[in-house]
Amino acid sequence: MCAVRAGCVVQSEVNELRLVSNYVNEYSLVTSGVTDRELSPVLRVHVVCRDAGQPVLETVHPVVIIIDDVNDNAPRFTQSVYNVSVIENQRAPVVCTI
């Protein structure tokens, strides 16, 4: 018995993902660049696989990838020192907006 080789491609509106063939009929879905949750929190692709038989058999499988958020942006302050005034004898909490 011999294995039928299938060919697979990824269909996507974004070019961030591609399929890499690991072995016969085995693929990895890998990123082509840096993912950014702020730009694309969810990636939706379809993996399409076709065999080499006659007639050609095809299957399409949707894949949804949710990008996890990481704190990649450090907080920024516009000044090195902030001064606020607080009136004495105020009940807590006292909120100072800077």
pLDDT at 1: 42
94 pLDDT more than 80: no
Query: Is residue 80 in a domain?
Result: no
Structural domain count, the chain:
1
Query: Is residue 19 in a domain?
Result: yes
The three-point CA angle 12-14-20 to 5° equals: 65
Query: Is residue 74 in a domain?
Result: no
pLDDT at 11: 78
For residue 30, the domain's CATH number is 2.60.40.60
pLDDT in tens, 49-69: 888 888 888 888 888 888 888
Q: What pTM value is reported for the model?
A: 0.58
Query: Is residue 87 in a domain?
Result: no
Query: Is residue 43 in a domain?
Result: yes
Query: Is residue 93 in a domain?
Result: no
d(CA 19, CA 9): 6
Query: Is residue 20 in a domain?
Result: yes
User: Residue 19 belongs to what domain range?
Assistant: 6-66
